[in-house]
Amino acid sequence: MDLTLSQGLFALQSLSLTEIQSILRRAQEFCDGVPMPDYSSKLACNLFFEPSTRTSYSFQVAQNRLKMRSLIFSSEHSSLQKGESFYDTIKVFDCFNPDLLIVRHGKEKFYEEFAGSIDTPVINAGDGAGSHPTQSLIDLITIKQEFGYLAGLNVAIVGDVLHSRVANTNIEIMQRFGMKVFMSGPPEFLKRGMSFFPLLELIEFCDVIVMLRVQNERHDSKFSLKDYNFKYGLNSKMLSLMKPGAIIMHPGPVNRGIELTEDLVECSRSRIFNQVKNGICVRASVMEAIFKSLI
Amino acid sequence: MDLTLSQGLFALQSLSLTEIQSILRRAQEFCDGVPMPDYSSKLACNLFFEPSTRTSYSFQVAQNRLKMRSLIFSSEHSSLQKGESFYDTIKVFDCFNPDLLIVRHGKEKFYEEFAGSIDTPVINAGDGAGSHPTQSLIDLITIKQEFGYLAGLNVAIVGDVLHSRVANTNIEIMQRFGMKVFMSGPPEFLKRGMSFFPLLELIEFCDVIVMLRVQNERHDSKFSLKDYNFKYGLNSKMLSLMKPGAIIMHPGPVNRGIELTEDLVECSRSRIFNQVKNGICVRASVMEAIFKSLI
Amino acid sequence: MDLTLSQGLFALQSLSLTEIQSILRRAQEFCDGVPMPDYSSKLACNLFFEPSTRTSYSFQVAQNRLKMRSLIFSSEHSSLQKGESFYDTIKVFDCFNPDLLIVRHGKEKFYEEFAGSIDTPVINAGDGAGSHPTQSLIDLITIKQEFGYLAGLNVAIVGDVLHSRVANTNIEIMQRFGMKVFMSGPPEFLKRGMSFFPLLELIEFCDVIVMLRVQNERHDSKFSLKDYNFKYGLNSKMLSLMKPGAIIMHPGPVNRGIELTEDLVECSRSRIFNQVKNGICVRASVMEAIFKSLI
């Protein structure tokens, strides 16, 4: 592993395929029961400026598994309440001299604001509608566990592509790994320069269906969810049309009844909770890779 | 200890008296200074969906004393804010594969919602007006420390019996241990099939007076607290009528001036803060019992 | 170290200059890389009833560096929501028998409320407009690092003196150490018995300019910030008038553009982020001093 990760992980674009494969290989070792290294002298500060369950707590669990010490920032209890800026908050934590900052913020490319001003490596745990590198690594490993390979697989990414950092990151990295990515969803969610296909066309030949959460909190006017599942979502009818061996994924949290009907969330094709499980190993592997790149 | 606890602790009804005595005996050992076992490889996730000071933090302190690692869920920072369900939140934490979940939720028997769907043992830290098993264990050990035995003691449970999970759990377990339980309080708080006695009648022969918090947050219309202490509470006049050696208990938090007048909270008959102290040892003992039942 | 610290640290007035020098000397050792002692058997409970970033999290980081266990109280999740009092909350934590309580509360001299009622040592992490002992220790060590000595230095304390616990504590301790302290700011912020000087008069001979945060949250009517920087704050013009070698300090969080213009926060004279860095070593040293005084 070279020095690419010594400043942390902002976006997967900065990593070579070899580096990503190395992170995924190590994550798989952790999943297979290889003992995690002991980083009990390391301190991670977790700063989430937007709500999170999966990402936030799986980072914390991964830190626990690595025997690291974790510090949890809570914006409501912080000086943000007295008007302190995001930049100054990050600077304060950098002054504490921890070993790692895990940051989620609603602003796209938030990390550019303090690039060059801090010394602590930062993992981007989601930057607005920008990117979500560790989630995409989770998606890749989940697919790899299923099919044994990535190149050549057909993937449908379905739903709120416009506001999804997961879609952004997945499209880029999946294409780099030789997967064919198709998108589907309501016209309101179409991104400039992309084409949407009817899900009915994709369902028959795609190996992976990635459903995206409708991000109500990022819509300017309230997007209507009436008929959403019928028109753009997965249900038992669509399930019956899926290619043999094809799987359903979703970064979570699922809007049950919207992106998927209730019965599909834990159906035999669903890998939704496998993605959650893989979160621990992937995030442990990323943190280890950063620490190793600092030696 | 057999396998009854391998799924955790939902209600005391599922435990035999022998099992409960074994948990209490071990808790008393911890209170007496017997070193707690080292569970430094264990991770507990604490998920409180309702406010708590005593229960929540005494579980955390007990985890600390057992050298466990603790993770604290905060609903305000979680995907509940994006509409994720209680069930999915618990499933996500189950996927993290911790050793224990401590859960408080406003819904009665919340644990039935995910029974059979998760692998991690769960301790019920309060389910709405349902039950509160660890609090009742604390009450039992506090009484045992005072009198040396349980069977035959007369106990008055006074106040908001209707909304009190502590009352529910205490009545059941105290009667099983051969204690005689009498209830008192305003007619609004009477439960179907129970009888209320005037506190003035009970005060002279009861060995233990358990005052219950008036749970304003669970009353549909605001219950009036005017004259509450005079009519249904404890004050210096009632104190003077208590049986020699009798003690006052309260699960907390006390509404000072309502259930008890200010001067009684820390009076010589009060065991209210002893209950808090016993919380650490009891909860450590319960957690140990669960871990032992998993071997 | 004698027993002065066995009950904790409420205000610097209770410490002798020798004791303070001993704490600062040890803090400097930590800053210089002397390994911190291992207090892995110690548990600190951090109870902040007012927002904080620097103080709250630097205490947590310092506890981490000392390998202590930390428990973080969150008032929103606590029984304060059910009406429990501050006193009872502190009593509950005292019953948990931790090794240390770190408390911030909006009420001046909050610690007098439970003096004599609890056994656990308490560090005052800010009591309303009262005092903030660890911040003043940070200010002292930051100045000492710069000049090598304290006595004889001229210090300007500028701004919201009236509502500032930092100003209160600094004035007292700096004068005890033989520093000459001058104040400046808008007349609304003048304290009875003090004199304010125009900043323009102080700027030329003061070695240290301590800017105070305008504490909007403590003003009865909204104080106007229009022209504040021009009239009472620091900007490039004032910077050019500063004495050679003089430094700028601020306890944070900075209202950028108010107390200081943006460009000054990280200018070569600013020690604002050094103060943050020193927070870890100073707070570790104070905690160690308390533990040592208990032996």
Cα gap C38→C288, rounded to integer Å: 10
Q: Is A76 on the interface with C (CB under 8 A)?
A: yes
Hey, are the CB atoms on B80 and A56 less than 8 Å from each other?
A: no
Q: How many CB pairs under 8 A join B and C?
A: 74
A143 and A257 fall within a common domain: yes
* Chain segment A268-282, per-residue pLDDT in tens: 999 999 999 999 999
Q: Is C252 on the interface with A (CB under 8 A)?
A: yes
* Chain segment B95-142, per-residue pLDDT in tens: 999 999 999 999 999 999 999 999 999 999 999 999 999 999 999 999
Q: Is B69 on the interface with A (CB under 8 A)?
A: yes
* Chain segment C63-95, per-residue pLDDT in tens: 999 999 999 999 888 999 888 999 999 999 999
**Contact predicate B146/B247, CB 8 Å:** yes
Q: Which residue of B has its CA nearest to C97?
A: B277
* Chain segment C118-163, per-residue pLDDT in tens: 999 999 999 999 999 999 999 999 999 999 999 999 999 999 999 8
- Interface pTM (ipTM) of the complex? 0.95
C21 and C102 fall within a common domain: yes
* Chain segment C203-231, per-residue pLDDT in tens: 999 999 999 999 877 666 667 788 999 99
C164 and C272 fall within a common domain: yes
Hey, are the CB atoms on B51 and C88 less than 8 Å from each other?
A: no
Cα gap C239→C232, rounded to integer Å: 13
A232 and A249 fall within a common domain: yes
Question: 3-class DSSP state for residue A104?
Answer: strand
A162 and A84 fall within a common domain: no
Cα gap B261→B269, rounded to integer Å: 13
Angle formed at CA C159 by CA C154 and CA C163, multiple of 5 degrees: 115
In the chain, the amino acid numbered B67 is K
Backbone angles phi and psi of B131, in degrees to 5: -145, 170
The 10 Å CB-count burial string (b at 16+, else e) for B109-137 is ebbeebeeebebbbbbbbbbbbbbbbbbb
Which of the 8 DSSP states describes residue A295?
Answer: -
**Torsional sign, CA B87, A162, A267, A282:** negative
Chains that touch C (3 or more CB pairs under 8 A): A, B
Hey, are the CB atoms on B79 and A54 less than 8 Å from each other?
A: yes
B121 and B139 fall within a common domain: no
Residue A1 has pLDDT above 60, yes or no: no
Q: Which residue of C has its CA nearest to B214?
A: C82
Report chain C's mean pLDDT, rounded to a whole number. 94
**Contact predicate B284/B102, CB 8 Å:** no
Backbone angles phi and psi of C208, in degrees to 5: -135, 130
In C75-164, alpha helices (H):
86-95, 133-147
C231 and C160 fall within a common domain: yes
* pLDDT at position C53: 94
Q: Which domain holds residue C151?
A: 133-276
Cross-strand partners of C47: C73, C103
Hey, are the CB atoms on A51 and B88 less than 8 Å from each other?
A: no
**Torsional sign, CA C179, C185, C190, C193:** positive
Q: Is C83 on the interface with B (CB under 8 A)?
A: yes
Cα gap B293→B4, rounded to integer Å: 7
Q: How many domains does chain C have?
A: 2
* pLDDT at position B221: 65
A44: left (phi over 0), alpha (psi -120 to 50) or beta: beta
* pLDDT at position C106: 95
Question: 3-class DSSP state for residue C1?
Answer: coil
Hey, are the CB atoms on B273 and C95 less than 8 Å from each other?
A: yes
* Chain segment B41-97, per-residue pLDDT in tens: 999 999 999 999 999 999 999 999 999 999 999 988 899 988 899 999 999 999 999
Query: Average pLDDT, stretch A141-161?
Result: 97
Chains that touch A (3 or more CB pairs under 8 A): B, C
The 3-state secondary structure of A25-69 reads HHHHHHHCCCCCCCCCCCEEEEEECCCCCHHHHHHHHHHHHCCCE
Backbone angles phi and psi of A248, in degrees to 5: -110, 135
Residues in C touching B104 (Cβ below 8 Å): none
In which order are the strands placed within the sheet that holds A154-158? A180-184, A154-158, A208-211, A247-249
Cα gap B139→B135, rounded to integer Å: 6
Q: How many CB pairs under 8 A join A and B?
A: 74
Confidence of residue B235 (pLDDT cuts 50, 70, 90): very high
B203 and B287 fall within a common domain: no
**Torsional sign, CA A191, A55, A15, A23:** negative
Q: Which residue has the tokens 């004068």?
A: C175
Please state the separation of Cα C163 from the chain's center in Å: 13
Which of the 8 DSSP states describes residue A222?
Answer: P
* pLDDT at position C220: 63
* Chain segment C167-202, per-residue pLDDT in tens: 999 999 999 999 999 999 999 898 888 899 999 999
* pLDDT at position C222: 66
Confidence of residue A2 (pLDDT cuts 50, 70, 90): very low
Which of the 8 DSSP states describes residue C105?
Answer: E
Hey, are the CB atoms on A53 and B79 less than 8 Å from each other?
A: yes
Query: C-alpha distances in angstroms, B28 versus A194, A243, B4, B149, B284?
Result: 67, 61, 21, 13, 11
C108 and C143 fall within a common domain: no
* pLDDT at position B76: 86
Query: DSSP string covering A2-23, please?
Result: -GGGTTEES-GGGS-HHHHHHH
Q: Which residue has the tokens 């502590």?
A: B166
Chains that touch B (3 or more CB pairs under 8 A): A, C
The CATH number assigned to the domain holding B233 equals 3.40.50.1370
Tell me the two tokens of residue B208: 């233990």
Query: C-alpha distances in angstroms, A26 versus A37, A125, A286, C235?
Result: 11, 20, 9, 52
B70 and B177 fall within a common domain: no
Hey, are the CB atoms on B79 and A253 less than 8 Å from each other?
A: yes
Q: Is B253 on the interface with C (CB under 8 A)?
A: yes
* pLDDT at position C230: 94
Percent of chain A with pLDDT over 70: 97
Confidence of residue B193 (pLDDT cuts 50, 70, 90): confident
Backbone angles phi and psi of C71, in degrees to 5: -125, 135
Hey, are the CB atoms on A92 and C61 less than 8 Å from each other?
A: no
C76 and C190 fall within a common domain: no
Chain C nearest-CA distance from B200, in A, is 27
Cα gap A98→A119, rounded to integer Å: 10
Q: Which residue of B has its CA nearest to A61?
A: B96
Backbone angles phi and psi of A91, in degrees to 5: -60, -40
Tell me the two tokens of residue B31: 């209170």
Query: Average pLDDT, stretch A81-91?
Result: 94
Hey, are the CB atoms on B78 and A56 less than 8 Å from each other?
A: yes
Cα gap A99→A41, rounded to integer Å: 9
Chain B nearest-CA distance from C95, in A, is 5
Q: Which residue of A has its CA nearest to C47?
A: A77
Hey, are the CB atoms on B43 and A52 less than 8 Å from each other?
A: no
* Chain segment A210-223, per-residue pLDDT in tens: 999 998 776 666 67
B83 and B154 fall within a common domain: no
